């Protein structure tokens, strides 16, 4: 049977043989890169998306992403038979056929595999997840539950008795009261429990951060167009840079994914390289442009300081990615900064420079730590254009300003 999909705020649902539904479209989100800031996009496929199943770098991880359609378990079984070294499976799925979810669970239990949800695992997918020897949930991941159903001849949803699913969850060790609540959720709705509730109900054994396991953000598609699209969704500032910059960064991201780099490492690297590429565009800028940039950064620093954010030091040092995020967080316009960056296309160095060293979290009182950058930018911008530009270049590029009385403005 086929999935049916609804749009807008209603959940995406699935028929069953019997089958469980899937996560509401409004709840879906993809990237670590998170978290790559980790604000992630919301994919709502228009047709069924057969699960993509592949072996990760090193052979220890299997990545499964997509709908649990007929034959999914058979494909996983064949891969596991050919690779006895597998110890863990990453699950990213909106659900599908109950029979497939149960069969996946049997394979997982028989092999003693651990299960890991890096983003979302909903409905029939959870029947596979709970059979893991250890059951890991990414700290921004979600598990979703609701009652099983099937679609009648007239297209209406008919909620079914959840006894088979209830038995599977409880047999896997889940708390019966939790299971009863999960299967009492209407088929048209979805329940996404808090991580603490999942641990107390013995559904999840551990919540992990983005550095624990290999990155799964490209499990659905690691082709070049998909990688570029993922970067632009998560790091919109890249649209202001040169096409070569995006191509180089996409290659770095994809190669690391295929090599087993963690999502946390990928996100940190993407952000650092993006910030470095943006700033390099201004290294040979004229005094007026540097002063304009300084004015925008000064505003971003002040906004970060007002929110007691530890990012003010990095913004003052020229992190244009953090600067745009600081302005957006304060609901201030960022078009001026985007326009300034876009106007510097064609300037700068290599497409993907080595990531710069970045300071760790600010220790002590954040307000006090922000005072220096705020004062330094204020003092620089109070000067005539040429002197202001010299002081700002010292802040941004660590260039020693010409020896004048104004040098005392630097922290």
Q: Which domain CATH number covers 116? A: 3.90.226.10
Cβ distance 78 to 51 under 8 Å?
no
Establish if 215 belongs to a structural domain.
no
Range of the domain at 188: 3-208
Check residue 27 and report its DSSP letter.
G
Residue 331 has pLDDT above 60, yes or no: yes
Are both 202 and 229 inside the same structural domain? no
Residue 143 has pLDDT above 90, yes or no: yes
Are both 174 and 263 inside the same structural domain? no
Backbone angles phi, psi at 75, to 5 degrees: -65, -40
**Across all residues in the chain, what is the average pLDDT?**
83
> What local confidence, expressed as pLDDT, does residue 360 receive?
42
Residue 342 has pLDDT above 90, yes or no: yes
The percent of residues in the chain predicted with pLDDT above 90, rounded, is 68
Query: Which of 8-12, 78-82, 309-313 is predicted least confidently?
Result: 8-12
Residue 208: strand pairing partners: 138
- Whole-angstrom distance, CA of residue 99 vs CA of residue 104: 9
Establish if 213 belongs to a structural domain.
no
Residue 377 has pLDDT above 50, yes or no: yes
Q: Could you say which of 166, 182, 208 is where a domain stops?
A: 208
**Contacts by 249-252, CB closer than 8 A, 24 or more apart:** 249/273, 249/274, 249/277, 249/351, 249/352, 250/224, 251/352, 252/352
> What local confidence, expressed as pLDDT, does residue 153 receive?
81
| Nearest Cα residue to 314 out of 304, 306, 328, 329 | 304
Are both 9 and 86 inside the same structural domain? yes
> What local confidence, expressed as pLDDT, does residue 161 receive?
83
Query: Which of 315-324, 334-343, 353-362 is predicted least confidently?
Result: 353-362
Are both 43 and 14 inside the same structural domain? yes
Prediction pTM value: 0.79
């Amino acid at each position: 049977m086929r999935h049916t999909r609804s749009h807008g705020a209603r959940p995406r649902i699935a028929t069953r043989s019997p089958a469980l539904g899937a996560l509401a479209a409004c709840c879906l989100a993809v990237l670590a890169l998170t978290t790559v800031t980790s604000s992630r996009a919301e994919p709502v496929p228009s047709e069924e998306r057969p699960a993509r199943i592949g072996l990760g770098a090193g052979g220890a991880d299997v990545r499964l992403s997509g709908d649990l359609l007929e034959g999914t378990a058979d494909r996983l079984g064949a891969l596991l038979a050919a690779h006895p070294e597998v110890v863990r499976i990453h699950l990213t799925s909106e659900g599908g056929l109950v029979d497939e979810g149960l069969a996946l669970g049997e394979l997982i239990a028989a092999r003693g595999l651990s299960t890991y949800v890096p983003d979302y695992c909903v409905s029939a997918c959870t029947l596979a997840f709970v059979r893991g020897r250890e059951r890991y949930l990414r700290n921004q991941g979600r598990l979703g539950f609701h009652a099983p159903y099937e679609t009648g001849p007239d297209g209406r949803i008919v909620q079914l008795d959840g006894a088979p699913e209830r038995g599977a969850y409880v047999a896997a060790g889940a708390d019966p009261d939790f299971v009863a609540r999960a299967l009492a959720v209407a088929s048209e709705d979805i329940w996404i429990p808090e991580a603490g509730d999942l641990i107390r109900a013995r559904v999840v054994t551990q919540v992990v951060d983005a550095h624990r396991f290999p990155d799964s953000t490209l499990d659905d598609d690691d082709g070049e167009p998909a990688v570029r699209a993922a970067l632009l969704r998560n790091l919109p500032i890249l649209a202001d840079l040169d096409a070569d910059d995006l191509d180089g960064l996409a290659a770095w991201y994809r190669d690391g994914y295929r090599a087993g780099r963690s999502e946390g490492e990928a996100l940190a690297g993407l952000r650092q390289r993006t910030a470095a590429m943006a700033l390099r565009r201004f290294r040979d800028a004229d005094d007026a442009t540097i002063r304009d940039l300084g004015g925008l950064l000064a505003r971003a620093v002040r906004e970060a300081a007002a929110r007691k954010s530890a990012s003010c030091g990095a913004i003052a040092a020229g992190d244009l990615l953090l600067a745009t995020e600081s302005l957006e967080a304060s609901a201030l316009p960022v078009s001026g900064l985007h326009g300034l960056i876009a106007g510097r296309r064609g300037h700068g160095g290599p497409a993907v420079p080595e990531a710069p060293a970045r300071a760790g979290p600010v220790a002590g009182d954040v307000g006090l730590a922000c005072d220096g950058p705020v004062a330094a930018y204020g003092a620089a911008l109070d000067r005539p254009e040429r002197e202001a530009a010299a002081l700002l270049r010292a802040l941004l590029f660590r260039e020693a300003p010409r020896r004048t009385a104004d040098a005392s403005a630097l922290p």
